[in-house]
Amino acid sequence: MAALRQEPALALDTESDSLYRYFYRVCLIQISLPDVDYLVDPLRVPDLEPLGDLLADPAHEKVFHAAENDILMLKRDFGFSFANLFDTMVAARILGWRQVSLAALLEKHFGVVLDKRTQLTDWGRRPLSKAQLSYARLDSHYLLPLRELLAAELQRRGRWREAQESMAALAAVTYVEKPFDPDGFWRIRGARDLRPAELAVLRELYLWRDSQARAANRPPFKIIGDDALMRLSQRQPLHLGDLRLSERQVDHYGDSLLAVIRRAQEAPPPQPPARPRGGNGRPDPNVTARFDRLRTWRVGRAAARQVEADVVLTNDALMAIARAAPASLEELAALEILGPWKLEEYGAELLEALAA
């Protein structure tokens, strides 16, 4: 930690095991300085509080690529807070660069080719392989020089204030646990085309799969995939030989699946989820009209800047402004949707679009 405290900036990345665990977690934290890379194993290191203190210290800049997910996971698992962030992907998008993945940026600017297949391996298993360790190190190793390149270009093109405002907002992102939705089966592709009796089977299989995934601490798709759930719901086999699953799946889950299907055949069909309260769930037509005008304005602004539309403003921001319908810059500022730079840059144009 002493070496980290001596540096004005440090680069970070994380790896998790979300492809292999139901209750996934941060499994590795990579930290790079100009002349050294550290790999921190949170599964083995009992106390990460000193690192948390450093991440919250505004005297040290923390450089990430696509920071939001890393920040959310670090907040969830360790209760960390953040200050003074630089996100190389956010910077590249503000500049209008078309290829903004880390792999593309490293290959273009440093001639480094990342083997992204390693990213999909199980980061929760120990020991980590040499390939995993090498990949993890490279993921943060070039972030500091990439940051310098991007910062210089942001300054040159007059986008530094915009970038600072966007990156400051990252520190405030909040992890919100998404509980299991028992009605989530309605979102499986093709579910709404099923007959009522088939939907009843799909619902029971969907609930069964989640319980199995929790018990085994494996992602639901590694128990049985959505396509297989749909096939079973339609065919409703009664014998192990008719399941048409892998040998492993039949051995582990065959009898249980048949029992679920038999039980579901006696269950009433599920009813579609209720629409949100308030008429037919559709927004007020005046709000919709304002939102459409704001989106039309955004399309033009984004095209002029040669950036993706959400770099200008997100759909959520546009909808919030459309609902509030501010009539002055003071009212627009009071919504606390726009930071000072975006208010100054876009405020008058937004009001003009609303009033059109």
Rg of the chain, C-alpha, whole Å: 25
User: What is the average pLDDT score of the chain?
Assistant: 96
Domain count, the chain: 3
> Sorting pLDDT into bands at 50, 70 and 90, what band is 277?
low
**145 in a domain, yes or no?**
yes
Q: Are 89 and 18 in the same domain?
A: yes
Walk across the sheet containing 9-16 and list its strands.
Answer: 36-40, 26-33, 9-16, 61-64, 85-87
**272 in a domain, yes or no?**
no
For 293-344, the pLDDT digits (tens) are 999 999 999 999 999 999 999 999 999 999 999 999 999 999 999 999 999 9
CATH number at residue 159: 3.30.420.10
Crossing angle of helices 247-264 and 196-216, rounded to 10°: 130
CATH number at residue 260: 1.10.150.80
For residue 281, pLDDT over 70 is answered with no
Q: Are 17 and 166 in the same domain?
A: yes
Per the structure, the complete domain to which residue 200 belongs is given by 184-264
* Residue 334 token pair: 């009071």
**275 in a domain, yes or no?**
no
pLDDT at 276: 61
For residue 274, pLDDT over 90 is answered with no
Q: Are 86 and 209 in the same domain?
A: no
For 23-34, the pLDDT digits (tens) are 999 999 999 999
CA-to-CA separations, 290 to 250, 303, 350, in angstroms, rounded:
55, 20, 10
Q: Which pTM does this prediction carry?
A: 0.92
Which of 175, 30, 199, 166 has the alpha carbon at shortest distance from 90? Answer: 166
For 115-137, the pLDDT digits (tens) are 888 999 999 999 999 999 999 99
**270 in a domain, yes or no?**
no
**Is residue 106 left, alpha or beta, with left meaning phi > 0 and alpha meaning psi from -120 to 50?**
alpha
